[in-house]
Structure 1
Amino acid sequence: MNTLRYKISIILAGGLFLGIVGCTNLEDKVLDRPTQSSAGSNLDPVSLLNGVYAQLNPLVSQENVYAMEEHTSDEMMGPTRGTDWDDFGTWRRLHQHTWDANHNQVTNAWDVVNTGVFRATEVIAAAEDGSVIEAQARFLRAFFMFYVVDLYGQAPFREASDGFEVNPKVLSRSEATDFIIQDLETALPTLPALGSGTNATPGRATKEAAQFLLAKVYLNRAVYKQNPEQPAGPYTFAAADMNKVIEYTNAIINSGKFELEPQGQYFDNFHWDNTTLSKELVFVIQQEKGAPVADVRSRYYMTLHYNQTPSGWNGFTTLADFYGSFEAQDERIGGAYPGMTDKLGYNAGFLVGQQKGPSGANLQDRGGNPLVFSPTVNLLYSDEKVGIRVIKYLPEPGNIDQGGHDYVFFRYADALLMNAEATLRGGTGGSPAVDLVNQVRNARGLSNLSSVTEADLLKERGHELYWEGWRRNDLIRFGTFLEPFDQKPTTSPAHVVVFPIPQRALDTNPNLKQNFGY
């Protein structure tokens, strides 16, 4: 990173995290070798469960899991700006699909998500069979294992009772997918419905969150069941899987608990008070203003210039082609947001052109030149001004670092678009795909499409869900992940649709085998 302040904040955050949720000894950073298990101990299952929920917080970092899902795609890059943001090429290698088994973020993300799986397994072992605590832990284990499967294609697994000397067994991608579905289907009848009690909020595991994740798994099941030596497809989407997607998303749609934010209010989903304002939140990290547990502020610090408010890290940008794919009337492009723009100077959404400060005056860069964000970026050699920035989560004026933004994992608009995609891929029982897509488009100020193709749907998903951590997953499923895009001029080799197993993990667990192509 390019700021000492950022490095210090990460160190402090890491220390606090370990102090709060240190129910499991994490001294050994590779999950394959936890130092001890709490199974059979007298630890309170509720406390253990809270530790699993806390393991969600690292997913909010701009690094690791989030970076692997976004920097590898056609909607985000991290250009080197002089000596800033070089970081030994970590961002370039993600964007250009040239990572290897020793890439720092590939290794760190592996630790984060596998730790979540193991901690949830500990809760399941300690909780009463059939209890709500066990059901929540099964959902969380499925949630973390979904990322293991999606990113790495195989999943080490150990029971909570296994001793230190036991090498974790390894589930293939296909086996792990079935494991996720079994966990979710086991948990679903016991999980509370959203709104049925004090703890049945989008910040906890609910029936609706489980239904959403089941739909996501079934939507990608063809990808995850693919021959490991042909990971890029072509994929065959079974009608039975698509029917499951429709079944589970229909349950969410027909629950009457969610609705799209109306025209002009898209960014309420990412407001510092989105808990109250948004009716789209299915599963989130719930946060309290003044005491956030996850670093949602990274979503605006990672992109804002040093001379904006707050003084950001001046890093990540979107790609000009992605920005140019939006229709002019699409409110998701952004614009002035009352209560933020009038105080901080910039809009919600995409920031391009001359930037203004809190007083409305034109800002300058560090050299005294006009601060103009231009679309063209060179990944290797850029100055501090180039690149279109993105403000998805809205900074709260006067409370920049302590906002109460709930961090969104699952959102209602995605459920509608998954339902449409499943219908387009041969599923039955849902509304016509074009009707669902138009429902989303109309809410964002756009006119109806007369029909919908796969290309239309992929574009709509990109426009609706940009910078929310789904783009790599979508591009792979639609078969376009390997194609050239800005600053990645060549077609990528097929094996990179799955990341390598980190070398450190291979060295500690002989049951793991490196993925095809690495």
Structure 2
Amino acid sequence: MKKYKLLIIILAVVGISSVFKSCEVEPTYYSQSTPELFFDTQEKVYQRMGRAFTHWAWCMADNQAHSNFIMLQEFTTDEMLVPSRYNDWYDGGNYLRMYHHDFTPTTPGVYDAWRAFSMGVAQAWSAKDDIDQYVDFDALGFPEGSREAVLMQLQTLSAFFYWFGLDMFGGVPLYTSTQGDIKPRATDVETFEFIDSLLTEAIPQLPKKTVLGAQETGAINQAAAALLKARLYFNAESYIRKDMYAEAAAICQDIIDGKYGTYALENEWTNIFGFDNDSSTEIIWSVPSQNAISERSTGPHSNHYGMGEYWSNGEIGNRNNGYCLVPSLDVEGKSYLYGSDNPSSKGTYRLGSPFAKFHEDDVRKQLNAYEGEGKWRGMFYFGEMINPVTGAACHGGNRQVKPNEVLVLVDQIARITPQAGAEVDHGKEGARWGEEASGVRLAKFSPTPWLTEKTLKGNPDIPVFRLAEAYYMLAECKLRAGDKAAAASLINTVRERYFPEGDPDPVTASNLDEWRMLDEWMIEFIGEGRRRTDLIRWNKYTTESWWDKPADGPGKAHYNRFPIPIQAMGSNHLIEQNPGYDTEQ
């Protein structure tokens, strides 16, 4: 059983976890308290610190793909979307506007993202202010180095939230404390350099993981901060028009070599996302989740209504039949995949078709099913939904598939099943024309046990950073530098775990280009909240088309950043709108 401590995460890092007598997730709040009197135990220091981390967990893993960050990173791209299924999930057209890049300062979801990053900054600095000012670490008996570990983790958390803001909005107001007057937005360069300086100061003062597979608790260690710095440099060209791929490559190589801690790629991919993944050798930073305490990894909104039957476990929430993968096939079953031997008459696309881009021999490309004793298989729900382990079937939800019919999930989003009263729309396809059975579903983060083993439910943590990202960043840096052979070798080192009989389509110096690189990013990290950033880095987000999403066209490069939400400008009159959105409503 995991020793789960989301709000008191640092204990495991500084080696004093015996202080705590419970596994409470939420901090204790007091109606009145004098700060200098409040901090009379070590536990209260970690409670104060933990508040900023609960906000981070909410930002990154609240219903996974519906979290504030993941949603805008995935549902605006060629990987995933929330189609309208007749009246289900239309939601006033909000999800359709997101997918079609119809961004305005009042777009739903954009303010949630602004609030997520800005509140995160405030929470991190507020906790750091209080602890720095009022806590006497020596008097409370903390081990040597604890003060630096606590303060620098909060500083790194603030850097993470600032990176979040930079990636989505560009330059943002910069603070180092919750005290003082409101500020206008800093420039992109100033924001970039500020994040860089926070991380440069923090990294050497953070704890380092020294035991391979030691429990991850949500704490920030040296490798997490270093990977964030590498990610900052890796995207510097799109953030500040500066090529820093060499600098990013150097950090990634150091991470792989163990300079910032001890990690290793997993040979078995389910270890990364499984019930005991807090001890995964590959995970560098993750949002903790635990059964009956704070379950972050169960019940994604993509699950069909009848999945309780399939799982033999009806205690999973959020079976709302929502998001799915961008389809690979048209309404007639022909392929949108570029280079297909059965191409759609509507055309093919370099981007998109995620399910089709997983090779048929890839061990991930099978029905997700629990096998017992914590073991599970498959990363998707697709095709005839009969559990390959138990034989239990998922039946229809009485929309287009009747409750006595076995559900068949298709890699299409179209009106395929005749529906009384909607005859005029039969045969239409597009994000507006989904059905109950439309779309392959991602089951990457939420393996579901049988009811008889229900205490495993919710135990998988949600990875935020993992070692494979360092391999892929380094590979892309080498590709850009012209060393395709070395780039291919790095990618294949990760790919080999998915092909026990040998990789039938390895990356090579001859087949590796920008398109294959983007495909490899998609295949490895689908659903993990980075697709939009990858497309922008390769200048594809606004310039390229994918299924039911034409290129944004000339004059729309500003869509690479979201508009500043009107609520943010209303609360701080010094904040100015991003260029290109000034005249848009």
Q: Is the 8 A contact 1:151 1:498 kept in 2?
A: yes
- Aligned with 1:410: secondary structure? strand
Q: Residue 95 of structure 2 aligns with which residue? A: 91
- Aligned with 1:68: secondary structure? helix
Partners of 2:322 and 2:213 in 1: CA distance: 40
Partners of 2:266 and 2:213 in 1: CA distance: 24
| CA 85–254 in structure 1, closer or farther in 2 if over 3 Å, else same | same
Q: Is the 8 A contact 1:396 1:403 kept in 2?
A: no
The structure 2 residue matched to 1:153, chosen from 163, 170, 178, is 170
| CA 491–400 in structure 1, closer or farther in 2 if over 3 Å, else same | farther
Q: Residue 391 of structure 2 aligns with which residue? A: 360
1:368-447 equivalence runs, <5 A: 368=402, 369-377=405-413, 378-393=430-445, 394-398=447-451, 399=454, 402-426=457-481, 432-445=486-499, 446-447=503-504
Q: Residue 332 of structure 1 aligns with which residue? A: 364
Q: Residue 153 of structure 2 aligns with which residue? A: 136
Partners of 2:382 and 2:78 in 1: CA distance: 18
Q: Displacement of 1:336 after TM fit?
A: 5.4
- Aligned with 2:204: secondary structure? coil
- Aligned with 2:286: secondary structure? strand
Q: Does 1:260 align with 2:273?
A: no
Give a deviation string over 1:273-301, Cα, whole Å, max 9, x none.
2123x221000112333322x52214xx3
Bigger drift between 355-364 and 179-188 goes to: 355-364
- Aligned with 1:499: secondary structure? coil
Q: Is the 8 A contact 2:25 2:293 kept in 1?
A: no
Q: Is the 8 A contact 1:191 1:205 kept in 2?
A: yes
Q: Does 1:246 align with 2:249?
A: yes
Read off the aligned partner of 2:547 and give its amino acid letter.
D
| CA 198–335 in structure 1, closer or farther in 2 if over 3 Å, else same | closer
Give a deviation string over 1:427-471, Cα, whole Å, max 9, x none.
99x992121011112222125332132222211111000011111
Q: Residue 50 of structure 2 aligns with which residue? A: 50
Partners of 1:340 and 1:480 in 2: CA distance: 43
Partners of 2:30 and 2:190 in 1: CA distance: 29
Partners of 1:160 and 1:296 in 2: CA distance: 33
Q: Residue 237 of structure 2 aligns with which residue? A: 222
Partners of 1:297 and 1:157 in 2: CA distance: 36
Read off the aligned partner of 2:98 and give its amino acid letter.
L
Read off the aligned partner of 1:517 and give its amino acid letter.
G
Partners of 2:171 and 2:30 in 1: CA distance: 26
Give a deviation string over 1:389-437, Cα, whole Å, max 9, x none.
1100112333389421111100111110011112222399x99212101
- Aligned with 1:282: secondary structure? strand
Read off the aligned partner of 2:218 and give its amino acid letter.
G
Q: Displacement of 1:194 after TM fit?
A: 1.3
Q: Displacement of 1:83 after TM fit?
A: 1.6
Q: Is the 8 A contact 1:76 1:317 kept in 2?
A: yes
The structure 2 residue matched to 1:115, chosen from 102, 112, 119, is 119
Q: Is the 8 A contact 2:485 2:508 kept in 1?
A: no
Q: Residue 497 of structure 1 aligns with which residue? A: 560
Read off the aligned partner of 1:53 and give its amino acid letter.
F
Structure with bigger gyration radius: 2
Read off the aligned partner of 1:281 and give its amino acid letter.
I
Give a deviation string over 1:188-228, Cα, whole Å, max 9, x none.
111010147999845211011111111100001111103xx
Q: Percent identity?
A: 25
The structure 2 residue matched to 1:481, chosen from 517, 523, 541, is 541
Q: Displacement of 1:182 after TM fit?
A: 0.6
Q: Residue 507 of structure 2 aligns with which residue? A: 449
| CA 18–82 in structure 1, closer or farther in 2 if over 3 Å, else same | farther
Q: Does 1:288 align with 2:303?
A: no
Partners of 2:562 and 2:472 in 1: CA distance: 26
Read off the aligned partner of 1:392 and give its amino acid letter.
K
Q: Is the 8 A contact 2:173 2:186 kept in 1?
A: yes
Q: Displacement of 1:45 after TM fit?
A: 4.8
| CA 396–342 in structure 1, closer or farther in 2 if over 3 Å, else same | closer
- Aligned with 1:250: secondary structure? helix
- Aligned with 1:284: secondary structure? strand
| CA 414–420 in structure 1, closer or farther in 2 if over 3 Å, else same | same
Read off the aligned partner of 2:491 and give its amino acid letter.
V
Q: Does 1:323 align with 2:383?
A: no
Question: Which ranges of 4 or more aligned residues in structure 1 deviate by more than 4 Å?
Answer: 21-25, 38-45, 196-200, 335-338, 340-343
Read off the aligned partner of 1:274 and give its amino acid letter.
N
Partners of 1:329 and 1:486 in 2: CA distance: 25
Q: Displacement of 1:153 after TM fit?
A: 0.9
Q: Residue 521 of structure 2 aligns with which residue? A: 461
Partners of 1:117 and 1:57 in 2: CA distance: 14
Q: Displacement of 1:340 after TM fit?
A: 6.0
Q: Is the 8 A contact 1:45 1:126 kept in 2?
A: no
| CA 481–161 in structure 1, closer or farther in 2 if over 3 Å, else same | closer
Partners of 2:30 and 2:365 in 1: CA distance: 43
Q: Residue 34 of structure 1 aligns with which residue? A: none
Read off the aligned partner of 1:450 and give its amino acid letter.
T
Q: Displacement of 1:76 after TM fit?
A: 0.2
Q: Residue 379 of structure 2 aligns with which residue? A: 349
| CA 73–504 in structure 1, closer or farther in 2 if over 3 Å, else same | same
Q: Displacement of 1:112 after TM fit?
A: 1.3
Partners of 1:463 and 1:21 in 2: CA distance: 42
Q: Is the 8 A contact 1:413 1:440 kept in 2?
A: yes
Q: TM-score, normalised by structure 1?
A: 0.82
Read off the aligned partner of 1:306 and give its amino acid letter.
Y
Give a deviation string over 1:58-113, Cα, whole Å, max 9, x none.
12121422110000110101011122111122211111100211122101111111
Partners of 2:293 and 2:355 in 1: CA distance: 34
Give a deviation string over 1:244-298, Cα, whole Å, max 9, x none.
2122212221117222222xx212211122123x221000112333322x52214
- Aligned with 2:322: secondary structure? coil
| CA 78–441 in structure 1, closer or farther in 2 if over 3 Å, else same | same
Q: Is the 8 A contact 1:246 1:427 kept in 2?
A: no
Unpaired runs of at least 5, structure 2? 1-23, 134-146, 309-315, 329-352, 414-429
- Aligned with 2:205: secondary structure? coil
Partners of 1:160 and 1:450 in 2: CA distance: 49
Partners of 1:103 and 1:207 in 2: CA distance: 37
Partners of 1:463 and 1:77 in 2: CA distance: 16
Q: Is the 8 A contact 1:340 1:395 kept in 2?
A: no
Bigger drift between 443-452 and 479-488 goes to: 443-452
Bigger drift between 349-358 and 491-500 goes to: 349-358
- Aligned with 1:408: secondary structure? strand
